[in-house]
Chain A
Amino acid sequence: MSAAPVAPERPAWWVRLDWYHPEWTLGVVTVLAWAILVLAHGATSSGVVPVDGMPAMPGMDHGDAAASTAPTVSAWATGVGLWLVMAAAMMLPSLRTAMRTTSLTSRWNRRHRAAWLLAAGYLTVWAIPGLAVVTVLSVVPWTPPVWVTGVLLLVAAAWVATPVRRDSLAACHRTRRVPGQGRRADAACAREGVRLGLACVGTCWLIMLAATLATHDVLLMAVLTVVVVAEKVVEDRRRRLPAWTAGTLVVLAFGVFFL
């Protein structure tokens, strides 16, 4: 009498997580980026760091302490770094679908490499407006009044209705299969990240600018992140999302004006 076949042992949950959701590393990086933002916000609120609020940019007038602070290279570099942390916290989660798709359709031993090369290309694009904003604020000290953020949010809501924004968002949703091996594959992943980054800037530049100028408001940044991620990641009834986005941005704008 032969023995009954033994079912193969089911791998541990974390093994299966890596099998089916290789983009889990994105979650780790996002959590770290938000932790830095929140900690930095706490530090600046308590006066430990002279730059008041996150992501406060060097040169921005942040009250008495900052008003006397002359722009320095280190402050500029810190500003750029903080911008990238903010971009990672707010924008990288929206890359989840693209990173997962690229991972699962790449050679197994390149899954994480492919996804993070894509993310690197994406963040490189976001670094460019960051450099511009930080540089401008370094040489032109300015504390934006709160209403500026509100106006930007209203303009962002109007931007949602434009064909350019609609096409940019559609481009954010598109993914392409990349070559499997070698430098050609690396380059293709980075190029795909750059393409997605450009599409994302076209979609979210006003939202990001509003978040940047709302120097004291981590909560606003969190809500805007949810809006951005929803538009990029949610597949179910996607065409309704722009209306929700515009409505949310209007509500946030009025919140900024009146709260």
Chain B
Amino acid sequence: MTIVRREVWSLENEQAWHPILHAYALAVQEMRARPAHDPTSWRYQAAVHATTDRPDKFRNQCQHNSWFFLSWHRAYLHYFELIVRDIVKKLPDGEVDDETREGWALPYWGYDRGDAQRVLPPSFRQPTLRDGVTPNPLRIAQRDAGINAGTTRLTVGDASSVAALAETVFTSPPDGASTAFGGAKTPPNHFRESQLAVPGTLEIVPHGQVHNRVGPFMRSFDTAPLDPIFWLHHANIDNIWTRWGGPDPTDTAWLDQTFDFHDANGTPTTSTAEEVRETTSLGYLYDDAGPVPGPLEADMSPHERDVPDRPAELIGETADDITLAGNATRAAVAVGTPSGPLSTAEEAAPTRVYLTVDDVRGPVAPSITYNVYLHAPDQDPTTEDDFFVGPINFFGVEQTARADTDHGGLRFAFDITDLYQRLRDAGRWGDEMTVSFLPVEAETVPPDQRDDIGADQAEVAEAATEDLASAPVDVGRVGVYVQ
């Protein structure tokens, strides 16, 4: 039987406490009650993503900054869904109907579909379950206050899948600069073992942006899956993969890579990318099909140019560390001319131009994100989008402060070929460019669009959110590469 994963707001709009969401809440409650060593427990499932407590071949295995990002998370969600469905099947008759019991599927948070969908769904903000008494397991305090109150929401830039869907290749060589839809071609890469890898465009936005925006649990590797919205967020990332029109890798290194999980009975099992490449192989579909263009904050036209068969070459970089502490920050980028393969290539202009933000470090992720601009003439919001490079977020940045982990810092890469061309055409591409970081907070929901669900409990977390907003992070270097 093929089950259908539905968009969570479509469920919410059908009825408050839709049976699928009510069943999910009860399953979360049940999983939380199970002991941490039980592979089907809430805490164990979170540890599968990341943990410092006795990591093994099952735990602390999430894949990021790698072409395994999508395949690993698809398998992770699949086994989680099996566990939840198994619990749902055993729920008492009064709590769940037969249709839900047989066909329960993990909903997805389709935040890239419109303004209303960028708000955290009501079932995740309600203080209590539908009985009005039982505390709601889907609402956790470890979210930013406005998000939990429904008074703020993801920004258009956080939620957009357009840049990701515009990528034409799934993977890129791990060269520190090249962008792709699914991530750099690396061995299994939990965080940043591969020193040259950069995340795929989808992993940066909306994936990382949404993690950053929702709250402190979602901003940390170890705690993100403890927020019930994590699973719906990743279901949407998985959904975007199904909507992407490009070809998946056919390389056996990707297809045959195995990862270890537990099924609904707690029995060890393995998955390969080949086994999870088609969602129908796993017994599910999404309730939509085909690309769904989202609103654009910036003009990111599709990258329909080929990727040339030559390495990307650094031609410009900042000189010193840049500290981001909640304010607009600018730094000079000294830019030269290519002296490598491009200098002898037949074509006069680079086929692709990239901007990288490297070695981002900090002990705690700020609740704000930053938009990066190149050579914006001013900080007028009406002109900045012409110079928009991309957003950076801090999901997992706390890992960079640990002595026992391998990574020197978060890394981001953006294709700025169109921006480069515009600056060239305008005569503004020179030997000293300016990179700007502008802080971005969650978007305020207009009062007439609020539902006030959860608003009465918002003050509790407000102070903590404010403290985290401008937590400082350091950027090691901004680089400009041509290919």
Contact = CB atoms under 8 A, between A and B. Distances in A.
A and B from one complex: yes
A100 interface: yes
A184 B309 CA distance: 31
Interface residues of B, number: 43
Interface stretch (B28-36, B154-162, B182-190): B182-190
B103 interface: no
Contacts of B188: 235-237
B340 A177 contact: no
Contact of B404 (A19, A97, A167, A179): A167
A178 B476 CA distance: 8
A101 B195 contact: yes
Interface in A193-230: none
Contact of A10 (B309, B311, B477): B309
B468 interface: no
Nearest to B56: A239
A8 interface: yes
28 contacts: A8-B345, A97-B195, A100-B196, A105-B314, A106-B314, A109-B339, A163-B404, A167-B404, A170-B404, A170-B405, A171-B403, A174-B406, A174-B407, A175-B195, A177-B176, A177-B476, A177-B477, A180-B317, A180-B336, A181-B336, A184-B319, A235-B187, A235-B193, A236-B187, A236-B188, A237-B188, A238-B193, A239-B60
B334 interface: yes
Interface of A: 8, 10-11, 19-20, 97-98, 100-101, 104-109, 163, 166-167, 170-171, 173-181, 184, 235-239
A236 B258 CA distance: 12
The SS class assigned to the B binding surface is: loop
Nearest to B308: A8
A176 B334 contact: no
Nearest to A168: B403
Interface string B345-385: 11000000000001100000000000000000000000000
Nearest to A164: B403
Contacts of B407: 174
Contacts of A104: 175-176, 196, 311
Given A108-B340, A235-B193, A180 B176 contact: no
B168 interface: no
A126 B319 CA distance: 29
- Which of B195, B334, B346, B409 has the most CB atoms of chain A within a 10 A radius of its CB? B195
B39 interface: no
Given A108-B340, A171-B403, A174-B408, A235 B189 contact: yes
Shortest beta-carbon contacts, A-B, top 6: A236-B187, A108-B340, A173-B406, A180-B317, A177-B477, A167-B403
A177 B309 contact: no
B358 A177 contact: yes
In the complex, which of the residues A100, A184, A236 has the most CB atoms of chain B within 10 Å of its own CB atom? Answer: A236
A105 B176 contact: yes
B479 A105 contact: yes
B55 interface: yes
B186 A235 contact: yes
Nearest to A109: B339
A107 B315 contact: yes
A20 B311 CA distance: 7
Nearest to B66: A235
Nearest to A238: B193
Contact of A170 (B60, B186, B359, B406): B406
A176 B339 contact: no
Contacts of A238: 193, 406
Contacts of B341: 11, 19
B200 interface: no
Contacts of A181: 334, 336
B195 A173 contact: yes
B176 A101 contact: yes
B90 interface: no
A127 B345 CA distance: 43
Nearest to B193: A235
Given A108-B339, A177-B176, 14 more contacts: A8-B346, A97-B195, A101-B176, A104-B175, A105-B196, A107-B336, A166-B404, A170-B403, A170-B404, A176-B359, A177-B476, A235-B187, A238-B406, A239-B60
Contacts of B311: 19-20, 104
Contact of A108 (B189, B317, B338, B405): B338
Contacts of B334: 180-181
A113 to B, nearest CB: 13
Contacts of B319: 179, 184
Contacts of B315: 107
B194 interface: yes
Contact of B408 (A175, A179, A180, A184): A175
